[in-house]
């Protein structure tokens, strides 16, 4: 029952995520890439593909579009010339910061809950996340 409601709520938030991304002229997957990349920390394209749970060939087109907009740049790895590293540009930092700022604002459905209900929900979700970390098998 709880899972059904949580899943339904998250499905409803997909439209919000798409809308926030569109406000920054990003597709949802482009927004996910910017969220995933930490400014100042190079990430190999294959590692990004793993983080996004997709094939590396799918990442190429996404990165191409972000690079064309000046949000990312590719560099050779200092350890292996065959490996392409991704770096967030200064413009990418700005767009990423704007995206994260908007995403941190709770949706109206959560913001309208009482403070007590918000704290209770946060405690429950933290316990669920902590339980996942304990039972996770690598």
Residue-wise pLDDT tens digits, 7-16:
999 998 999 9
Residue-wise pLDDT tens digits, 82-129:
788 999 999 999 999 999 999 999 999 999 999 999 999 999 999 998
**Average pLDDT of the segment spanning 12-25:** 94
Residue 60 has what DSSP assignment? H
Residue 40 has what DSSP assignment? T
What separation in angstroms does the CA of 102 have from each of 27, 35, 63, 106, 111? 15, 12, 22, 9, 14
Residue-wise pLDDT tens digits, 35-56:
999 999 999 888 999 999 888 8
Tell me: domain 17-105, CATH 1.10.10.10, correct?
yes
**Rounded Cα gap, residues 12 and 19, in angstroms:** 12
Task: Find the farthest-apart pair of alpha carbons in the chain and give their distance in angstroms, rounded.
Answer: 54
Split at pLDDT 50, 70, 90, the class of 136 is low
For 74-128, give the DSSP string: EEE-SS-TTSEEEEE-HHHHHHHHHHHHHHHSPPHHHHTS-HHHHHHHHHHHHHH
User: What is the model's pLDDT at position 55?
Assistant: 86
pTM, full prediction: 0.81
Pairing type for strands 84-88 and 72-76 reads: antiparallel
* Beta carbons within 8 Å of 16's beta carbon, 6+ residues apart: 107
Residue spans of the domains in the chain: they are 17-105, 107-138
């Amino acid at each position: 029952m709880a899972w059904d409601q949580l899943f339904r709520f998250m499905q409803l938030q997909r439209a919000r995520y798409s809308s926030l991304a569109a406000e920054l002229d990003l597709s949802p997957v482009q927004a996910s890439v910017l969220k995933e990349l930490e400014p100042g920390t190079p990430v190999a394209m294959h590692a990004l593909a793993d983080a996004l749970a997709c094939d590396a060939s799918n990442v190429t087109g996404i990165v191409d579009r972000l690079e064309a907009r000046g949000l990312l740049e590719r560099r050779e790895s200092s350890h292996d010339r065959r490996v392409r590293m991704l770096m967030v540009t200064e413009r990418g930092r700005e767009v990423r910061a704007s995206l994260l700022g908007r995403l941190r604002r709770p949706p109206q459905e959560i913001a309208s809950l009482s403070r007590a209900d918000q704290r209770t929900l946060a405690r429950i979700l933290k316990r669920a996340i902590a339980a996942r970390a304990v039972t996770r098998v690598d």
